Amino acid sequence: MVKNTFSEVSADVPTTGEVDGVGRRTVIRAIAMSGCCLAASGLISASPAIAQAKKVKPEPGQRFAHMAGDKEGQLVVPDDVKLGKPLLAYPMDATTTQVHGSRANLLILMRLNETDLEETMKPHAASGIVAYSGICTHEGCPISGEHENPRMALCNCHGSTFDLGANGKVIAGPATRRLAMLPVAITDGTLVVAGKLNGPIGPPA
Ligand code: FES
């Protein structure tokens, strides 16, 4: 059974951090809509604003901020990241706490069982937590669906499934390109970006 977490995301919660870019509220609205309507609406298409935002990517040393929900804009702590439950987040500067809320920076965090992490993935995970681009490589929907297999993340728009224990490879289409993985670490109890995204984000041009 596949569960949809879209309904758990609210666009009405107050923003507690300083968020840049025009993409954050667009993404929130997109998530509040149902799957196929996202593509038809144009909210998930590669608009000029999105293309411009693709130049901004998470940088090592940044933290993570909740994209939505009761903790919108607040720092993500390791205990916030649950087994098999994709958590949507944005990178946040460590010193200024500015949240980089563009679509290109949308990330998913998820905790995996250590046994579900392939050996090559383990140096890039922290206590089982992995991070990936949160933009589906099919048509650009935000990825927030839970899958019955707790190492998989599901795109609710058309069902693409990605293996977060295996460098984001596609398990089920229509997507054909894997998700870009972002190395993470835990430093002084805080989840931090520990490298660069290891591939392109979103749908192929
Ligand atoms: S946008 Fe089509 S499966 Fe994700």
pLDDT digits (tens, 9 = 90+) for 124-158: 999 999 999 999 999 999 998 889 999 999 999 99
- Ligand 1 within 6 A of 30 CB? no
pLDDT band at residue 56, thresholds of 50, 70 and 90?
low
Centre of ligand 1 to C-alpha 92, Å, is 26
- Closest atom, ligand 1, to C-alpha of 175: 3
In a domain, 175, yes or no: yes
Look up the pTM and report it: 0.77
Which residue range is the domain that position 39 belongs to? 6-193
Which residue has better confidence, 2 or 66? 66
Q: What was the pLDDT predicted at 143?
A: 92
Quick one: average pLDDT of 64-88? 94
Q: Ligand 1 atom 1: the closest Cα is on which residue?
A: 139
- Tally of domains in the chain: 1
Cα 150 from Cα 13, distance rounded (Å): 28
In a domain, 200, yes or no: no
The per-residue pLDDT for range 179-203, each reduced to its tens digit, is: 999 999 999 899 999 999 999 999 9
Centre of ligand 1 to C-alpha 96, Å, is 34
- Ligand 1 within 6 A of 141 CB? yes
In a domain, 93, yes or no: yes
Q: What was the pLDDT predicted at 2?
A: 41
CATH of the domain at 61: 2.102.10.10
Average pLDDT over the chain, rounded to whole?
A: 78
Quick one: average pLDDT of 28-45? 39
In a domain, 204, yes or no: no
In a domain, 198, yes or no: no
